[in-house]
Amino acid sequence: MKHTGLRKPFALTALCAAVAMSSLHAWAVTDQEILNDAKSTDQIVTNGLGLQGQRYSTLDTLNTNNINQLRPVWGFSLGGEKQRGQEAQPLIKDGVMYITGSYSRVYALDARTGKELWQYDARLPDGIMPCCDVINRGVALYGDLVIFGTLDAKLVALNKDTGKVVWKKTVADYKAGYSLTAAPLVVNGKLITGVSGGEFGVVGKIEAYDAKNGELLWTRPTVEGHMGYVWKDGKKVESGISGGEAGKTWPGDLWKTGGAAPWLGGYYDPDTDSLLFGTGNPAPWNSHLRPGDNLYSSSRLALDPNDGSIKWHFQSTPHDGWDFDGVNELISFDYKDGGKTIKAAGTADRNGFFYVLDRTNGKFIRGFPFVDKITWAKGLDKTGRPIYDEAHRPGNPADADKGKSVFVAPSFLGGKNWMPMAYSQDTGLFYVPSNEWGMDIWNEGVSYKKGAAYLGAGFTIKPLNDDFIGVLRAIDPKTGKEVWRYNNYAPLWGGVLATKGNLVFTGNPEGYLMAFDAKTGKKVYEFNTGSGVIGSPVTWEMDGEQYVSVLSGWGGAVPLWGGEVAKRVKDFNQGGMVWTFKLPKDLVAKR
């Protein structure tokens, strides 16, 4: 605003200030709004449509009876040459949509028209090292800030009206292989994020920052032996939060470059006041170099949001030798058992097993395969620990057979990878985007070098079937039963949304946004977006009408790592679009 030197009447000045404050408070995202997001229908202010990450909407205006009337109302191109790997979930607040694009970009759009309000492009340095494409999975909203992570491992907070930088924080050294790809999480004013970089021998960590100014509050390394700390006013105020004994489940000094990156971020369970995060693979992939369970890699962790201390852990793949990770989302849900309410959490692991845990203490309740073929393990014991089939662990290159190659299913890309599943409060089912593939894998010698790939393994990924790889599954977590499935020719790599309208939405690399009957699995809608859908769809209500939005833009890990699978998707076009649909008021059919 240009100052003229003229004095305004006091009443007019006070009125302007009041209007400005009213406008600010009308938009500002509060802690209470974040906690209530799963119940709100006119906005989406969290990744996961609620802190527990169920990706369930209570809206039922759009349903199986009228889904055929859903129609596109606008599309927005992310522009430029950076059209690849769009994995973000949109957030919507007061008629404005906030999304991220590949190469660490943020957009604010008019949710009614798709008009761009502002765009922010991070100035990425040469030499960034994202392992699995240049993706970003979304922003966090808090107060009047839009906050996201960058491929050079920074957190950036932008003004929601202008897109100008309010604060910026370096989380880790990108030259060592660190990056940020997850959508941050906000709990009681704390901005919480994990880091990416497990393929480069980083030390995974989960950290909390003051969402208002970026001040570091606590840090929790996720490799046993590293200490966590709490900060106040920029200084350590506690001697440390125990990270376990150095070398106890790691040989020698390998815990110093142990990986276990919590690269997918996490969720929050208010019932137990716990952050629920998963951790990635131990480094290097060659498991013969690091005998032991290698905590806290390939695990699910419950953390105290106040100081980052670990309440409990569950390790899905101890001594991981296949890059199965353990980052896949851990979703809180309740169910009845003999009249008793069980506070549970469900997760579909890359290793091919679905786990149901007691989220109050991390104890194993049940586990079962959710994919058609698992070769690396014969099953799970009563504690949920895998019963290994050692014939399917790749050989030790130090032995005479020089690292024998073995065939393993699923492949390291997983029975389910990052793409988030949904839980329906109506059906009690999880809707799991999964894939049927295996791999030839062998081990190689390797030594750590800062900023260099730290694998010690080679691989070739292969489809298990000629006619499909992807499978959208409806899974009953109480019985392990597959209620229905939809087979897809290409791998599934996008998120899932469930609604009270008996609908399940997801997308495929062939370019279609699809909707299914949540009870039967019948496909009831599809729309070709022009590029592969690997983002996570959302739905919300605006002006009395129900909207659906999804990002479209093929990319991500599959075409980069896919071996024979990559041949199946080689002709798919990359892209960068947001598509928004709605059900017009005059076409609403009541159920």
Query: So where are the chain's domains?
Result: 27-587
Helix (H) or strand (E) holding 299: strand 299-303
Token pair belonging to 542: 């605006």
DSSP-assigned letter for residue 49: S
Active-site residue flag, 323: yes
Alpha helices in 319-472 (DSSP H): none
Using CA atoms, how far apart are residues 283 and 585, in angstroms rounded to an integer?
A: 54
Residues forming beta bridges with residue 77, ordered by sequence position: 577
In this predicted structure, what is the pLDDT of residue 25? 42
DSSP-assigned letter for residue 52: T
Fold of 27-587: Methanol Dehydrogenase; Chain A (2.140.10)
Residues forming beta bridges with residue 154, ordered by sequence position: 170
In this predicted structure, what is the pLDDT of residue 591? 42
Active-site hit among 37, 293, 323, 325: 323
Using CA atoms, how far apart are residues 170 and 364, in angstroms rounded to an integer?
A: 37
Using CA atoms, how far apart are residues 541 and 468, in angstroms rounded to an integer?
A: 35
Using CA atoms, how far apart are residues 531 and 568, in angstroms rounded to an integer?
A: 15
Using CA atoms, how far apart are residues 185 and 466, in angstroms rounded to an integer?
A: 40
Contacts of 295 (CB under 8 A, 6+ apart): 223, 224, 244, 248, 249, 250, 313, 315
Is residue 199 exposed (0-12), middle (13-18) or buried (19+ Cβ within 10 Å)?
Answer: buried
Amino acid making up residue 491: P
Using CA atoms, how far apart are residues 282 and 459, in angstroms rounded to an integer?
A: 17
pLDDT in tens, the chain (591 residues): 333 333 344 444 444 444 333 334 457 999 999 999 999 999 999 999 999 999 999 999 999 999 999 999 999 999 987 888 999 999 999 999 999 999 999 999 999 999 999 999 999 999 999 999 999 999 999 999 999 999 999 999 999 999 999 999 999 999 999 999 999 999 999 999 999 999 999 999 999 999 999 999 999 999 999 999 999 888 888 777 778 888 899 999 999 999 999 999 999 999 999 999 999 999 999 999 999 999 999 999 999 999 999 999 999 999 999 999 999 999 999 999 999 999 999 999 999 999 999 999 999 999 999 999 999 999 999 999 999 999 999 999 888 666 789 999 999 999 999 999 999 999 999 999 999 999 999 999 999 999 999 999 999 999 999 999 999 999 999 999 999 999 999 999 999 999 999 999 999 999 999 999 999 999 999 999 999 999 999 999 999 999 999 999 999 999 988 678 988 899 999 999 999 999 998 887 544
CA distances from 194 to 57, 182, 297, 403 (A): 26, 7, 13, 33
In this predicted structure, what is the pLDDT of residue 233? 83
Place of tokens 């001594």: 319
In this predicted structure, what is the pLDDT of residue 589? 58
Using CA atoms, how far apart are residues 434 and 54, in angstroms rounded to an integer?
A: 17
Amino acid making up residue 275: L
Q: Is the pTM of this model over 0.85?
A: yes
E-assigned strands of 349-456?
353-358, 364-369, 377-380, 386-388, 406-408, 422-423, 430-435, 437-443
Contacts of 513 (CB under 8 A, 6+ apart): 505, 506, 507, 525, 526, 527, 529, 533, 537, 548, 550, 552, 579, 581
Are the C-beta atoms of residues 505 and 497 closer than 8 Å to each other?
yes
Contacts of 108 (CB under 8 A, 6+ apart): 96, 97, 98, 116, 117, 118, 119, 146, 160, 163
Token pair belonging to 533: 């859908």
* Closest to 495 in 3D by CA, of 481, 512, 507: 507
How many other CB atoms sit within 10 Å of the CB of residue 123?
A: 7
